[in-house]
Amino acid sequence: MAPPLLTLQDIRLTLGTAPLLEGAELAVSPGDRLCLVGRNGSGKSTLLRIAAGTLQPDAGVRFLQPGVTVRYLPQEPDLTGFPTTLAYVEAGLGPGDDAHRAAYLLGELGLTGGENPAVLSGGEARRAALARALAPSPDILLLDEPTNHLDLPAIAWLEAELASLRSAMVLISHDRRLLEALSRTIVWLDRGITRRLDRGFAHFEAWRDETLEQEEREQHKLGRKLAMEEDWLRYGVTARRKRNVKRLANLHALRVQRRQQRGNTGGLKLAAAEGELSGKLVVVAKGVGKAFGGRPVIRDLTTRVLRGDRVGIVGPNGAGKTTLLSLLTGQLAADEGEIRLGAGLQMVALDQRRESLDPGATLADTLTGGHGDSVVVNGQSRHVIGYMKDFLFAPEQARTPVGVLSGGERGRLALAVALARPSNLLVLDEPTNDLDLETLELLQELLADYAGTVLLVSHDRDFLDRVCTSVINAEGNGRWIDYAGGYSDMLAQRGPIVNVPAAVPAAPGRPRPAQGSASAPAGPARKLSFKEKHALDTLPAQIDKLQATIAKLRGALADPDLYARDPKIFQRATDALANAETELAQAEERWLELELLREEVESR
């Protein structure tokens, strides 16, 4: 076996008063594919910086074989001092490296090379840094969240590019598909120490759970032994002196071991504060179009979102995913077509850049709104420290400014703020950015159990597969098509034919058929009756009227003194609200049936 190219031994580092790394180890041999996993804040990025030589530990040894080249992709690259992105990437090349590869990689990542680094977005800067890391074909690649800010086509390209390299690799990522495709070894950083498993990421969760269960059994045994020894100390210390001295020393050693044994840091608890039940129809879009500067971003979009749907919106960067999200939630007006929002919607949004978080505010003030020390969740008041613990924040972080939190901690804080508010519609724009794998698992479970509706923009293929009931995909030139199921289902339905002539119309909610596929024989012609046409024309106005009535009744019942002031009026309003909500559900159901029938008739 070849000697390791890079080794880290007994690495120790303390930040503030808390030890972050307590004897961490890492060994990278030729051809290794290591994934470094662990919770947000466990020190993964710090350990990678030590491996790259950009951070000195308090103690421990870093050894790099002479002549070995290392390239490091940080989460927040610094491009200052370079006139263009091409100059920045070329500066990372060594003697004998191919200068043309810099331009090639920038092009593959959607950059021209002529961009001014001073005006780049965070995503563009990371793309340039990724090109700089890959261009020299180094002996060791250290990659910290390489898929952040990449769209799905770019992630697929990166996966293939990394698989083709001969470089040894240490990878930090929340993208399960990428880790499953590339990793051969797992290094788990947990409570300051590292554990290694020479198997791929697909085996990580079972190994982690087995390790934690074994640790829990050992802690239980230690606790029982300590209790027995303390019982002896109270009642049996009068026995032989020499023997007692030794046993007493053993007891002190057990106590030290117990104190030093840092137990499991606790589990993350995610739960969404649920609002009132919305109407069955959440969003209805008909022939919607939106253009910017003459370029169509959304063209002739017709779709429906029903209560309980989990809709994923996917496509390349710049396709208009956030624009579509804003249209469907009524935050942006369409240039043409009609968008109708359902009744009783209580929307909570999580923005992509976490711009709703004030970097100057403390963590506690962000959760409480700067008022008191309590957070109201599901109508119940909770102390902010207890709510912080649910999201793995330590009590001493309460006065920590948001601006100094890590990317993963900001992601968890944004979730904590959003999930505390009552909602029946969650709008999530890139919620998986910077979240660790455990948080992603719990977020998936939360969305699966959520009683409301979810609109989701994400580039995480595994997350889309686990969460979504349907996907709206950007097909190019402003056209968007619905597909049933998750991301993998969409790929299966699209087939090998991607570009279909725009002249072939696609029925809303159904994928466009691949060229050359046999069409199903047409059945007997079916037309809408006069009564059905009339109902289709008049139901929208009836639904609007019912929605207005419901809003008025809910406003009246929101008066806390109404029942005490006039119980009869309170009861009449309650009964009227129940009747109106029943009529609304029936009207929406009938409109939906007729709309589906109309689409079927027009598609013949």
- On whether 39 is known to bind a ligand per the annotation, the reply is yes
As a whole number of angstroms, the distance between CA 348 and CA 473 comes to: 23
- On whether 545 is known to bind a ligand per the annotation, the reply is no
DSSP 50-115: HHHTSS--SEEEEEE-TT--EEEE-SS---TT-SSHHHHHHTT--TT--THHHHHHHHHTT--S--
Tally Cβ neighbours within 10 Å of residue 4: 18
Q: What are the phi and psi torsion angles at 430 (to 5°)? A: 55, 60
- On whether 529 is known to bind a ligand per the annotation, the reply is no
- On whether 473 is known to bind a ligand per the annotation, the reply is no
- On whether 42 is known to bind a ligand per the annotation, the reply is yes
- On whether 294 is known to bind a ligand per the annotation, the reply is no
145 to each of 44, 300, 499, how far by Cα in Å?
11, 36, 31
As a whole number of angstroms, the distance between CA 370 and CA 393 comes to: 18
As a whole number of angstroms, the distance between CA 150 and CA 405 comes to: 23
Q: Which residues contact 370 (CB under 8 A, 6 or more apart)?
A: 361
- On whether 265 is known to bind a ligand per the annotation, the reply is no
CA atoms 310, 332, 429, 142: torsion sign: positive
- On whether 263 is known to bind a ligand per the annotation, the reply is no
Helix (H) / strand (E) containing 585: helix 567-602
How many CA atoms within 13 Å lie on the side-chain side of 467? 30
- On whether 372 is known to bind a ligand per the annotation, the reply is no
- On whether 31 is known to bind a ligand per the annotation, the reply is no
Please tell me whether residue 576 adopts helix, strand or coil conformation: helix
Q: What angle do CA 125, 121, 72 make, to 5 degrees?
A: 20
- On whether 321 is known to bind a ligand per the annotation, the reply is yes
As a whole number of angstroms, the distance between CA 375 and CA 393 comes to: 15
- On whether 122 is known to bind a ligand per the annotation, the reply is no
Say if CB 443 and CB 464 are below 8 A apart.
no
- On whether 512 is known to bind a ligand per the annotation, the reply is no
- On whether 315 is known to bind a ligand per the annotation, the reply is yes
- On whether 356 is known to bind a ligand per the annotation, the reply is no
**DSSP state at residue 575:** H
Per-residue b/e over 197-225, b at no fewer than 16 CB within 10 Å? eeebbeebeeebeeeeeeeeeeeeeeeee
As a whole number of angstroms, the distance between CA 576 and CA 231 comes to: 68
- On whether 223 is known to bind a ligand per the annotation, the reply is no
Q: What are the phi and psi torsion angles at 478 (to 5°)? A: 80, 5
Q: Provide the pairing of β-strand 336-341 with 281-292.
A: antiparallel
Q: Which residues contact 563 (CB under 8 A, 6 or more apart)?
A: 570
As a whole number of angstroms, the distance between CA 528 and CA 124 comes to: 52
**Known binding positions:** 38-45, 315-322
**Known binding positions for ATP:** 38-45, 315-322
